[in-house]
Structure 1
Amino acid sequence: MVEFVGREDELQTLHQMLQENNQVAVAAVAGMGGLGKTELALQYAMAHREIYKGGICWLLAKAEDVGIQIVRFARTQLDLNPPENLTEDPNQKLLAQVQYCFRLWREGDVLLVLDDVSDYEQVKLYLPSPSSRFKVLMTTRQYFGGIAKLSLDVLQPEAALELLKSLLKETPGRIEKELAVANQLCEWLGYLPLGLELVGRYLARKQDLSLTEMLRRLKEKRLDERSLSKSKSEGNMTAQRGVLAAFELSWQELEDEDKQLGCLLSLFAAAPIPWKLVEQCLPEEDAQDLEEIRDDSLLNLHLLQRKGEGIYQLHPLLREFFQYQCTGLEQVEEFKRSLCRVMVAVAKDIPEYPSLKQINAVTPAIPHIGKVAKDLIQYLSDDDLIWAFFGNARFYNGQGLYEQTLPWYEQCIEVTKKRLGEEHPNFALTLNNLALLYKSQGRYNEAEFLYLQALALRRCQGGEENPDVAESLNNLAILYELQGRYSEAELLCLQALELRQRLVGEEHPDVAESLNSLAGIYDSQKRYSEAESMYLRALELRRRLLGEEHLDFATSLGNLAYLYQSQGKYGEAELLSLRALELRRHLLGEKHPDFALSFNNLAALYELQGRYSEAEPLHLQALALRRKLLGEEHPSVAESLNNLAKLYYLQGRYTESEPLYLQALEIFEQRLDANHPHTVKCRKNLANLRDEY
């Protein structure tokens, strides 16, 4: 016997719903096929049979007229024999007999179960009067307005695993041996009780079949996998159908327009779906008509779930079922093209460096952009091809989640090269973006190789007088500055600045970027007066062109603050640093590498002023953030280690300082080189420390 797990709270709630009303308590145990509605009703009846002294009457709503079933039950189980002549109206004969049976029913409370009700109006006529001792429990796939409703959801992951274990208890240890796969199996089945029971029983019969192989078969054959069909040997199951057959019952109740909408929804990723995206996929359809189909058909039949305001989701197996039905739908190809069009438009709206507000706004769309990149790129035009990948890359990169960004750019390079070839401008653009990512990860040598490749391609494609060439020159200059190659960096940055001024004019964000880059190169060489002039020009341009609520403006504030700090202008530096910190907190949140940079710079400022107690927690926070976001081997982590070590050195805490210097030096030597300015400085710091004791 299979254990009944995961529904203890629902059983208790159901009992309370049926008992708390003196009138008839009609509790609709609603939900899509396979959730175990009938099993829950059965378990409730078995658990509480002692309190229903008048008996439990179980009726199959779809099998036969409910009135006929009630009269038959009364005759066979209660020895009642309702007369034929209770009324002269032949149309009221059956109703009169039902009422007669209710009046003479055995004493005590009665539980009347109506299983699988599809039309409430057809059974309402036969229900007992509100003042009677009868309790009525219905199971249904639909929603009946005005009736107390207990809506079943899928099982919780722990309960789903427990159900699977109970089905395989004859082979102990089988789940534990492949525990991770067992959890994946439950997830693939969407924690649906019917799917879990069918697959569990199938595995119980196939004792040599591993869970890994079972999962592989499900992924390959989907709903056609035989384990999801009910075996003739499973006579003790409450459910009478397999998954496909169970869903088919609801499918048959849908109109053509309902089915089309269901198929469109199944093309989205297996994630919550913003309804506005669905409407955009069907621009010629009336929004109110779509809403009616959604609410009156798909939601009413529990084929779709509302997850929040404007957010809906298909159960994973229902999504499989709708895709299964899509194969015979002539509109499916157009639906795929429409979905791609909408998701590309969303991707193009994601800025290269999105703010936290923009990230939160686009988050619900991200899985669906990824779905297009994974499964539907053949429906994208050549010009739109990169955006299925760029959308997700910008989303993750904008949060400083570089490891999650990487596969999107790598896949984009592979796909772009295969379809468009290496001579296409978008291939060079993708190389450039991957190089930017490598730079952010501290992978400077790999970044340089890609930058040079992108620059060469752009020169071939558009000649020297090309904004893309200017971008590549500027990016390469920034990289060289990070590598301590200042003379090369300055030359390239000046070329980029001159080219941008000539192509786009003085009043352009690209010019501000080049000014900021050149200022950074001068700052690194302690050419402070030149750096200040450039930083101020960049700051003013960004203020005027982008506004003071822009990430680039925050960057300019932080850079100018760091310069003033180097010049000993501590008051001005602190004011700008705090402003940059708050702006980054507002725009990026507190889990971003740039926010860690603000901590680092402010800590360095306090340290120079001898405000060690204020500097230390900031250094520690910067180090922790950088380790978490960038990994242990990133040059920025080495910078934080070096800075914290220096703070401890200044406080005379030499034993705490030395191991930090050693860690920083090892990273600098590995990720930069032995002669990089950062490496040289760290080595000198360590030598000074050792001279002290």
Structure 2
Amino acid sequence: MPLTGVVEFVGREVELQNLDQLLQENKQAITERSRSIAIAAIAGMGGVGKTELALQYAIQQRETYTGGICWLLPKSGGIGIQIVQFARTHLDLKPPEDFDIIAQVQYCWRRWREGEVLLVLDDVSDYEEIQPYLPPSSSRFKVLMTTRQYFGGVKQLSLEVLQPEAALDLLKSLLPETPSRVERELAVANQLCEWLGYLPLGLELVGRYLARKRDLSLTEMLRRLKNKRLDERSLSKSKSEGNMTAQRGVLAAFELSWLELEAEDQQLGCLLSLFAAAPIPWNLVEQCLPEEDEEDLEDIRDDKLLNLHLLQRKDEGVYQLHPLLREFFQYKLTGLEQAEEFRRSLCRVMVALAKDIPQDPILEQIKNVTLCIPHLAEVANNLIQYLSDDDLIWAFVGNAWFYNGQGLYDQAEPWFVQCLEVSKKRLGSEHPSVATSLNNLAKLYESQGKYSEAEPLYSQALTLWRQLLGSEHPSVATSLNNLAGLYKSQGRYSKAEPLYIQALALRRQLLGSEHPDVATSLNNLALLHKSQGRYSEAEPLYIQALALYHQLLGEEHPLVALGLNNLALLYYCQGKYSEAEPLFIQALVLYRQLLGEEHPSVATSLNNLAGLYYSQGKYSEAEPLFIQALALDHQLLGSEHPSVATSLNNLAAFYESQSRYSEAEPLYIQALDIFERRLGINHPNTVTVRGNLAYLRDSLTSEQ
């Protein structure tokens, strides 16, 4: 939950009671009708205190919601993605990756922690956008929204401005001097509250202003406010909200606070307004102003923006502008000399961050950048004109890799598609960034098993790179390698081999013999030879690749684990079980250490070790590993991935060897169905499983 900045919460006691009653009534309605969820909305104009009321309710009822309080910001990005990320981070849930985002969200709701649950959706502008992601019909779930809109069919608590007496109490709480200035100028204090339209945000700003200026009378304060005439275009969206007196008052209060800021304070506020309407990690702000002293920036933040109530502290090192203040600062930014510089600086910082997001981020890396993603999306959606041609694709690629690494393919695909479209539009169809975009989109499709969609994109990328960069370039080698990998996955070995050989030769020529990409090419060519049964040719390539990975990357790296696993698999295929086992175990330990317990590579490693134990007759050791591998593949890759089919086939073969035919047959059928649909009826894997199933059925017929 966000942190509360309220000194004393006054004037909303009745609303708190009404809100709790509203949710309880809805809960009772669920119990009686069993067809809806307990949902309520706090509705009202900007600055009226909707978020604070929701926060105070959540704080008061914290012990009631033993199943947890999930506080989300719909405007920070897709609400479905936020729910899944919350469940993964705080509840350790892992929805299947082949599910679409709605199905993943429903998976999380079904497995949510026991107890009453409160879901708070702060600042909802479109109910239809969030409705598909709401919890299922259950009396233990309650949904609380804050909104400036009216949603038909949703129980709403209309939050109005404060009553005059409550407004006066709020002003008094902000000016706790004895004797109180409010009491000394009571009539003027009432006029001041009225002029501010009894709006909490305006009262907070003015109260804090007066608290700093102890010698300023309320009479003079009111005069200053009335003299302010701010162009209201920056808050034009608020004009239809029904209380222009309050809006004029709060605008004047903003303007007074603005005038109290020094130039550098104003500049920082304007820079903050360029970020998305979401929590802002402070280190991003510091990176945007590399020439500024960090302590000076902290002083401006703490002594000015926070002290003037112009900025909210959301968490340790995380801050956010109120939406109205963000619009106000954006309006002021239009007249700022540094506006262009700030926009380019933000773009520079976010591009650098995007470049640091790996293609396959692990959970820790995902956590580290999650708060940054809305701001990266803000750059991609609204500031691409300030990106250089060289940096253009990174705002899109960073977002795509963030989602792709979590298996959220439906969320990654639009970013890859948009990247390709934007690149073509600005750079033309014949540009290296277009080739990169084609390659990235193809890789996404390949990871989903959509080989027919991936192939033409890989081919286009290769043609374009050759045309633009010549035949001797590292990008051409990468493209050759990727296309070869696709052919290998399809069982088209004769087409894959010459491309792998070309890629290896080119990488050696351009990068030297001691480079990670050369090791990868050696490894990939060895994989192909092993798939063809050419074990004597594969072994020296595997050994060279592993030695290079060790030498270049150190002992603890995922590629070292990959090299160990692949060499072990070769020995296993040759019946060299005593040589394979320690390598399989080393690979599994390393994968778990580097990638965590829940990663596709861990599942593959478990599966391989299980196969080894099975071949050695260690059935009691093999079976639990086969089952773990299958469960992990299902969880991480979804039920339609070829790796799941491989795990199904392996477990089925294990059951068959123990004459557990009734358990084996349905697993073979599932595996065959996946392989036929994903890889085609003539793929070697498909042919193998079809043969296994036929042999099983022949065995059953013979026994009968």
TM-score (norm 1): 0.68
The 8 Å contact of residues 474 and 492 in structure 1, kept in 2 or not, is answered as: yes
User: 1:603: how far off?
Assistant: 2.7
Look up the match of 2:341: 334
**Cα distance in 2, alignment partners of residues 573 and 651 from structure 1:** 24
Q: Distance in 2 between matches of 1:646 and 1:459?
A: 46
Is 1:399–1:591's contact at 8 Å kept on the other side of the alignment? Answer: no
Q: 1:400 to 1:68 in 2, by over 3 A?
A: closer
State the match for 2:378 in structure 1: 371
Distance 1:493 1:115 in 2: 70
User: How far does the alpha carbon of each residue in 1:132-154 deviate from its partner, in whole angstroms, 9 at most, with x for none?
Assistant: xxxxxxxxxxxxxxxxxxxxxxx
Change (3 A) 1:227 1:621: farther
Distance 1:509 1:60 in 2: 64
Identify which of 318, 322, 325 aligns with 1:315: 322
Give the equivalent residue in structure 2 for 1:116.
207
Contact 2:205 2:253 in 1 (8 A): no
Letter in 2 for 1:507: E
The verdict on how the C-alpha distance between 1:515 and 1:554 changes in structure 2, with shifts beyond 3 A counting, is same
Amino acid at match of 2:301: R
- Contact 2:484/2:496 (<8 A) preserved: yes
Q: CA deviation at 1:684?
A: 1.0
What is the alpha-carbon distance in structure 2 between the residues aligned to residue 659 and residue 444 of structure 1?
A: 26
Is residue 4 of structure 1 aligned with residue 15 of structure 2? yes
Native 8 Å contact 2:205 2:308 kept in 1: no
- Higher-RCO chain (CA-CA 8 Å, sequence separation at least 6): 2
**Is 1:589 matched up with 2:596?**
yes
The alignment partner of 1:393 has SS state of: helix
Please state whether the residue corresponding to 1:312 is helix, strand or coil: strand
Q: Is the CA contact 1:57–1:73 (under 8 Å) kept in the aligned structure 2?
A: no
Q: Compared with structure 1, are the counterparts of its residues 396 and 569 closer, same or farther at alpha carbon in structure 2 (3 Å cutoff)?
A: farther
SS in structure 2 opposite 1:306? strand
Give SS of 1:225's match: helix
* Alpha-carbon distance in structure 1 between the residues aligned to 2:579 and 2:597: 24
Selected match of 1:413 from 410, 416, 420: 420
Aligned amino acid, residue 261 of structure 2: L
C-alpha change, 1:402 and 1:542, in structure 2 (3 Å) is farther
**Which position in structure 1 is the counterpart of 2:662?**
655
Contact 2:273 2:327 in 1 (8 A): yes
Equivalent residue number for residue 400 of structure 2:
393
Alignment partners' CA distance in 2, 1:382 and 1:413: 13
Q: CA separation in 2, counterparts of 1:471 and 1:61?
A: 64
Counterpart residue number, 1:217: none
Closer/same/farther in 2, CA of residues 532 and 372 from structure 1, 3 Å limit: same
Alpha-carbon separation, structure 1, partners of 2:610 and 2:321: 49
- Distance change (3 Å), C-alpha of 1:38 and 1:375: closer
2:472 paired residue among 449, 465, 468 = 465
Is 1:301 equivalent to 2:312 in the alignment? no
Superposition deviation, residue 662 in structure 1: 1.3
1:542 CA displacement: 1.0
Aligned to 1:307, what secondary structure does the other structure show?
strand
| Corresponding residue SS for 2:592 | helix
Aligned partner of 2:140 in structure 1 is none
Q: 1:572 to 1:228 in 2, by over 3 A?
A: farther
Q: How does 1:220-369 map to 2 (within 5 A)?
A: 224-230=237-243, 244=251, 247=254, 250-369=257-376
Q: One-letter code of the match for 1:649?
A: E
Q: Percent identity?
A: 62
- The one-letter amino acid paired with 2:676 is E
Contact 2:171 2:207 in 1 (8 A): no
- Residue 601 of structure 1 aligns with an amino acid whose one-letter code is N
Contact (CA 8 Å) 2:172, 2:180: kept in 1 or not? no
Mind listing any 5+ residue stretches in structure 2 that lack a counterpart?
1-10, 20-52, 61-147, 149-157, 188-203, 218-232
C-alpha distance in 1, partners of 2:216/2:250?
Answer: 32
SS in 2 for 1:521: helix
Cα separation, partners in 2 of 1:366 and 1:588, compared to 1, 3 Å? farther
| Deviation sequence 1:616-649 (CA, Å, 0-9, x none) | 3433333333334333322122222222222222
Counterpart of 2:514 in structure 1 is 507
Give yes or no for contact 1:473–1:496 (8 Å, CA) kept in 2.
Answer: yes
Structure 1: distance between partners of 2:373 and 2:364: 15
Confirm whether residue 579 of structure 1 aligns to residue 670 of structure 2: no
SS in 1 for 2:319: strand
Cα pair distance change 1:272/1:601, threshold 3 Å: farther
Tell me by how many angstroms 1:474 deviates. Answer: 1.2
- Residue identity opposite 1:407 in structure 2: P
Partner of 1:428: 435
Distance 1:43 1:57, change over 3 A: closer
The alpha carbon displacement at 1:677 in A equals 0.7
Indicate conservation of the 8 Å contact 1:399/1:592, yes or no.
Answer: no
Look up the match of 1:82.
none
Judged with a 3 Å threshold, the aligned counterparts in structure 2 of structure 1 residues 282 and 228 are, in CA distance, closer, same or farther, namely farther
Say whether residues 1:516 and 2:523 are aligned partners: yes
Please report how far the alpha carbon of residue 669 of structure 1 lies from its aligned counterpart in structure 2 after TM superposition: 0.9
Q: Secondary structure at the match of 2:314?
A: strand
Q: Distance in 1 between matches of 2:696 and 2:186?
A: 94
In 2, Cα distance between equivalents of 1:502 and 1:8: 63
1:488 and 2:579 equivalent?
no
Find the structure with the greater CA-based Rg.
1
Q: What is the CA–CA distance in structure 1 between the aligned matches of 2:237 and 2:331, rounded to whole Å?
A: 9
| Partner in structure 1 of residue 457 of structure 2 | 450
Could you list the per-position Cα deviations for residues 162-191 of structure 1 after superposition, in whole angstroms to 9, with x for gaps in the alignment? xxxxxxxxxxxxxxxxxxxxxxxxxxxxxx
Tell me how far 1:222 sits from its aligned partner. Answer: 6.6
Decide whether the 8 Å contact of 1:402 with 1:630 is kept in 2. no
Partner of 1:101 in structure 2?
Answer: none
Residue type of the alignment partner of 1:224: K
- The DSSP-based 3-state class of the residue aligned with 2:207 is strand
Taking the aligned partners of 1:12 and 1:381, their CA distance within structure 2 comes to: 45
Q: Is the 8 A contact 1:564 1:570 kept in 2?
A: yes
Inter-CA distance 321–536: structure 2 relative to 1 (3 Å threshold): same
Between the aligned partners of 2:443 and 2:553, the Cα distance in structure 1 is 22
Pair 1:306–1:613, CA change in 2 (3 A): farther
Tell me, in whole angstroms, the C-alpha distance in 2 between the residues paired with 1:9 and 1:434: 42
Distance in 1 of aligned mates of 2:205 and 2:438: 64
- Out of 598, 623, 640, the position equivalent to 1:633 is 640
Instruction: Name the residue aligned to 2:86.
Output: none
| Cα deviation, residue 114, structure 1 | 14
Question: Unpaired segments of 5 or more residues in structure 1?
Answer: 15-33, 46-55, 75-112, 127-219, 233-238
What is the DSSP-based 3-state SS (H/G/I as helix, E as strand, rest coil) of the residue aligned with 1:267?
A: coil
Q: Is the 8 A contact 2:491 2:683 kept in 1?
A: yes
For 2:282 and 2:355, locate their aligned partners in 1 and report how far apart those are by CA, in whole Å: 19
Q: What SS does the corresponding residue of 1:328 show, helix, strand or coil? A: coil
1:378 Cα shift? 0.5
Amino acid at match of 1:116: G
Please say if 1:644 is aligned against 2:651: yes
- Give the direction of change, closer, same or farther, for the CA distance of 1:117–1:460 in structure 2 (3 Å limit): closer
Q: Shift of residue 495 of structure 1?
A: 1.5
1:302 Cα offset (Å): 2.9
Name 2:448's counterpart in structure 1: 441
Deviates more, 1:539-548 or 1:591-600: 591-600
Q: 1:60 to 1:653 in 2, by over 3 A?
A: closer
C-alpha displacement of 1:405: 2.7
**Aligned mates of 1:411, 1:526 — CA distance in 2:** 42
Between 300-309 and 114-123, the greater mean CA deviation after superposition: 114-123
Query: How big is the shift at 1:554?
Result: 1.8
How much has 1:524 moved relative to structure 2? 0.7
